[in-house]
Structure 1
Amino acid sequence: MGYLEEIKKEWIHKVAKKQISDVEDEYKQYLLGEYCEDPDEFFSSVYRTFLDEDKRRSFLVNNDFSKQFKCEHVDKILEKQRRFRFFTPSIFWHHKDRTKEELIWITQITLDFDLMKDGSNREFNPQDLAYILDREFGYLPNVVWSSRTNGNYQASYLIKPMTGTARSIYYYESVVKRMAILIGADVAATSAVNLYSIPKSGFWKFSEEIHSIEDFDWVLEEEDIEKSLEKKRSEKVVSFTEKQIMKHESIQALLNAEFVQWRNNAAFTIALLYYALGKSKKEAYDFLNGPWFDLVNDGRFPSRRGKFRRKEVKTTVESAYSGRYHGPSREWIYLITGIEFPYNLYKSSYIKKEDGYQSANEIQLKILKWLESNSGKWVKRKAICASLNIPEKSFRRNLDELHGRKLDYESKTGANGGYFIRDLRSNKDFGVEVDTSVSLDGIIDYSNIKRA
């Protein structure tokens, strides 16, 4: 269970109590909206003109998810919709896949309410839900409809289309997940490619307004949610063993190539995982170049992408081990596998000393590594900084921080200015140890991607 889902469960009774009180105290909601039975009006409002261009598709899916039907025009949806149970309001470009990688447009925000199963004791009708949504978000939903399951409703806000880039997907899902928490909807049903029930008969129409996602992104700063997230962040930081990490279902899906999208990103994510766990380049290369290579070339990916090539493995591993990254992105793990990996996995280094461990940055680690074979030599300033690829100011600052603890040095200025550095570490078993830590800190930090 993700942390936002946990927060929703913590909030649901408080949210439900307020909503029940609001509905009991007001009767205006019974004057809202109009009931419509025309499926043409429903689906035409969802898809608008997005299916008019070539290679634009949506999907209908049957009751047990064993069959899906691609629809290239609204007319085809209207013709086939009675034979299927679910639809996706998003638009895709490939005829086989309804994955995030094939996503072209996100057309609406849809909130799913399962009032009979969420333990909230809410007994609302579509007008009640529309009224509550208007109270919470400042806008009436466009439509509310019921599924074939008792007490299950979907409510939607039409939005200006969002392109199906990873950045847009993160942004969209972050907003809608928080909206779901605030209104007591299903957080798990907020994926950009989620399926929703086709209205079992008609639907209630409340508005024709088309919104922008920015109309709702204030929820990203909603103080109570942020406080709950901060509480989760501060609860604990734990160290996981490699075995625990590798057994996580999302990591297993990555390693066993149990996905059909983002193949190259999956390779890079695995390489970063190996890097964060302190494994060698060779181990990462051998894994990606071994059985995993065969799995991703077994035909599960559309042929237009071509085969995953051997040279791509080498490039991927070199990039992952370049030092520019700390570890795999859990956002990409989720995007690739569809399974939340609720931890930040990062590589951090520690300098070993007698009474414990002292954190060190990468520059200090470079200096100490260099010192193992260069102690007691005069070295020109420019030469050592070029050798270690360190800016001169940063080199001097970090040298001062290490002075007296791990090394002693003298310096001289001028055109040939340099350093005489002595290693103060008496024992030869000194070394850099890799500590792999996992921070439990919420779902995704969207603070830098609010405008997609």
Structure 2
Amino acid sequence: MAIFSYATKQDKLTTIIETIMHEGLLTYHPKSSAAPLDLQYRAKQLDKLHKKGAVFAVRDKSHFESGVKGYIITSNETLINQANQISHFTPNVYRRYYYADDKRQTIKGFEEKNLLQINTFVIDIDTQRHSVNDILLACINDSIGEPTLILKTDRGYQVYFVLAAPIFISNNRKFISLNVAKRIADNLKRSLATVDADIYCNDFGFFRMPNHQNVVWFNEHATYHPAKLIDWSQRIDDDKGRQLYVVPTKKQQTSLLTSEWFLQLIQTTDVKGEKGQIGRNNYLFTLALVCYQDGRDQSYAFDLLDQFNSRLRTPLPVKDLDTIVESAYSGRYHGPKKEYVEQLIELYAPQHTDIKVSFGQTAWYKHKKAREDRERSHLDEWEEDITNWITAEKHVSEPFIWRTQKELCNEIGISNSSLNKLLKQSKKLLKTTTGKGRNAKTGWTTVNLFISYIIWLKQDMGVRFAKSIRALVEEQIEIIEHIAGYETLITNIKKLEQEQLVIEQLTMKETLLGTG
């Protein structure tokens, strides 16, 4: 039975969307919001604390057929108000977004490299053979646990595993956070194989928009911290003997185009595909990726695909080949996945499944040594571990974890000297000490939790907020004055004091007018 405890359907829908989106979008539409001006003003101040992006939306599935005809949404208000008119959207937020035509009808920018933050993992189940209870049991028994949301679609279901805090995507260190998220998505899909999860579904693309009719399960408390998902995914990888980090190495000495497995792929003539299988587009895309990894130019790849396509019993339109080759050579991909190639052979050349698929000396997965095997972990890794540990343990109303430094070192596995060195340069971690001697207590938190605490106090304390926050900040001055953006924080507090003064004056005026 779905867990619904809301007065109206609109309240439920609002909660669902806010649970998914976190602070990725503006609260209200910047130009045409229907919210009261005082709420808009307050929201704008809070919105400045988080970087904002946009999501893409379309009104009908047919709008994917020639380009993507849709529009760009930058606020929760717009997304909530239009939810019942939207068929699909991107529940994960993008940093770059634009229209490809003057009429602002065709949208562009929904590429993985443009992701700002990942809010949720969505699994597509393209059949209704399984009940909602079957899916719930599979999630609990075979996967990470209870899903946050299940939507019913025309052909099946879409299962949302919403994050408790977003995974932010950066191009630093070769998009390592994106690579980790993609591996989590892959393991989630494979863990639900018993209910026919589509393992070829785009990890972070368009999915069904929640609306008043299609929600069949929702539990806002069933969210997952990234650290828990990473740990779970690593255990799954260990069981399968897979490693995580993706790095290119030296180019192979022999051509992949002469390998036995490639020759079998190129000789196939009956490729069409069904839902849940790799069809013509992905087949041709894989061949193009082989050409790219082999160092061939785009014209060579196009000629090869054109010849192969012309021999198929049901070929693709020639115009589609250009798009496939351009995508393969876009630089977003290193080369074909070994498991895809093996799946292609199994589907379309089953008599040759004994052929070993090898990419020569090219290795796309490099084993990362276990932490205990490294003499000294890089400080930013320790910083991330401590941040994840604190965030997983804390509630917004109490931002500090009270542990001695020795206790923290034992729980995290970091040496005392490394922790001291980290604290001197970290701009994410905060430490405070109260009391003296035996009664001394050491508190640990993060900048984000501390800011969230300030926001929570504002909501909780109303007109007393500004004065209390100033006192709090002055009390914690020694631990936050080194934070980047400290001066901006003080400026915002002064603005909030002025805002509260105005509100008090307006309240007094309304009271006087009302009594008069």
TM-score interval, smaller chain:
0.3 to 0.5
Larger radius of gyration: 1
Q: TM-score, normalised by structure 2?
A: 0.40
Q: TM-score, normalised by structure 1?
A: 0.45
Return the structure number with greater strand share.
Answer: 1
Asked which structure has the greater RCO (Cα within 8 Å, sep 6+), the reply is: 1
Return the structure number with greater helix share.
Answer: 2
